Amino acid sequence: MSVSMSLVQGGAAGGAPQGAILAAAAPYYQPPAVPQDVQPDRPIGYGAFGVVWAVTDPRDGRRVALKKLPNVFQSLVSSKRVFRELKMLCFFKHENVLSALDILQPPHLDFFQEIYVITELLQSDLHKIIVSPQHLSADHIKVFLYQILRGLKYLHSARILHRDIKPGNLLVNSNCVLKICDFGLARVEEPDQTKHMTQEVVTQYYRAPEILMGARHYSSAVDVWSVGCIFGELLGRRILFQAQNPVQQLDLITELLGTPSREDMRHACGGARSHMLRRAPKPPSFSALYTLSSHATHDAVHLLCQMLVFDPDKRISVTDALAHPYLDEGRLRYHSCMCKCCFTTPAGMRQYTNDFEPSAGQAFDDLWERKLTSVQQVKEEMHKFIAEQLQTGRVPLCINPQSAAFKSFASRDQLQNSSTARNTAAAETNDGSMK
C-alpha cells in the first residue's frame, strides 16, 4: 500500500532553456531538446552557509537542486568546514541521505572562490508538511520516523554526527520519500572525551540537554534527542520544546522529564549542575505525551520516552530505536512500495533486500583535515578533489552568467550568509574537529 501526499511545488511554468542558470561547459555541446514549458530557476531555501535553487540540468532536462557555497576561502576554519561537507556529499550512498549528483566545473585556481553542488530536488521538507493543513495519518508518521532513523543509522555507522537534525533539514518528495540534508555542521565523532567540541550546534528547539548544560564533549546521542523532538512534533503538529532562550528550553525539558539526578547530569558543566540542584525538584510528567494527539499510542509514547532521556548514555541508540515494534509498519510500508533496495518481479512478487537498514561500508575519513594547515592548502586540495570527481565521462556543467536569474542567484545569498558564516565559524574555532 502506498503512502503518498499531495505536495504542490510552487513556481509557474515558463522560461526558456537558454535562460537557465546552468549551462554545459564543453564547447559545441548541443543539449537535448527541453520542453518549452520547463519551470524557471528559482530559490527554494537557505542553509547555514549557502543558498539553494531549483534549476534545470541542460544535459537531460531534469530538475535538480543547485547549492551555492560562497566565500569559501575566507578563513582556514570555514574552508575546511566546506571541504568536509563537500567530501561527505560525495561519500554518501544511501536512499535517505542527500548526496551530490554533480559538482560544477571550477574556474582556474586563481579565481576559485565558490562551489556549486548539484543534488536531487525534492518538493518539500518536513517542517512545511507539519505546519500545513495536510492530514498526517499514523502511517505517515511511522514511515517518516522510520526513514529518519534509517538514514541516521547510516550516518552514525560512518561515525558522522549531523548536529542539526530538524524538520527543515529533512527533505520530502511527493511520494513521502525522505532524505536528510544540510551537513554544514556535521563532523566525525571525537573518541577522545578530553577534547572539547563546540556547543554552538543544533537549532535550539532540538538541542539535547547535555549541550544546553554546557557539556564539552558529546556523542551521536545528540542526534537521537533531535529525532525524539521531531517525533513529538509529528504527533502533536507543534514544536515539542519551544522556548525563547536556552535556559527556558531546559526548563521545558525538565517539566516533562522531571529534575535529573546528579548521575544524569555528570556530563554537564558545574554551573549548570548547581543551577538545577538549587531549584525545587520536579517529578516527570510523561503522561502529558498521550495528549499530543490520537496517534500518541502506548507504543509511540514508549519509543518517544526512550529517545527523550536526559542522560545521553541511557538514551536509546538509532539501531535499537529501529528495532522498536512501533516502526514495524513503517518498515513494511517503506519497503513494500517506496524504496529502491527492493523490487517487484514480473510475476508481481515483492523481492525484499537482505538488509533493510544498511550501515555504511566504511567510516568517513577525516584524517586529511589535520594535514591542511593553510587556506591555500585547502584551496588547492579542494580544486584537485573537484577535478577528480568530474572525471566521469559526462559533459561538465558551469554557470551561465547570461541567465535572466543569474544576478539574483549571484547576489541574493550574500546578506543571508555573511552574518551566519561569521557566527558559526567563530563558534567552530573551539571545536575539536578544527584543531
pLDDT tens digit string along 313-327? 999 999 999 999 999
Q: What is the pLDDT of residue 416?
A: 45
Best CA proximity match to 331, nearest among 125, 69, 144, 96: 144
Q: What is the pLDDT of residue 266?
A: 80
Task: Return the SS3 of 110.
Answer: helix
Burial of 371 (0-12, 13-18, 19+ CB in 10 A): exposed
d(CA 328, CA 141): 12
Query: Among the listed ranges 103-112, 253-262, 263-272, 372-381, which one has the minimum average pLDDT value?
Result: 263-272
CA distances from 367 to 87, 140, 216, 387, 434 (A): 12, 40, 22, 21, 11
Q: Residue 125: enclosing H or E segment and its boundaries? A: strand 124-125
Binding residues: 67
Best CA proximity match to 314, nearest among 352, 346, 267, 357: 267
CA angle 124, 114, 91 (to 5 degrees): 60
Task: Return the SS3 of 74.
Answer: coil
Q: What is the pLDDT of residue 13?
A: 33
* pLDDT over threshold 70, residue 47: no
d(CA 108, CA 199): 37
* pLDDT over threshold 70, residue 101: yes
CA angle 231, 233, 239 (to 5 degrees): 140
What is the tens place of the pLDDT at every residue in 339-355?
999 989 998 888 999 99
* pLDDT over threshold 60, residue 419: no
Torsion of CA 286, 290, 292, 298, to 10 degrees: 110
Q: What is the pLDDT of residue 43?
A: 85
CA distances from 219 to 44, 172, 188, 329 (A): 32, 27, 10, 29
Binding residues for ATP: 67
Considering the chain, what is the average pLDDT of its residues? 84
H helices of 132-212, where?
Answer: 138-157, 209-212
* pLDDT over threshold 60, residue 418: no
Is 186:220 a contact under the CB 8 Å cutoff?
no
Q: What is the pLDDT of residue 3?
A: 53
Decide which of 78 and 423 is more confident: 78
- Could you give the residue numbers annotated as active site? 164
DSSP label of 430 = T
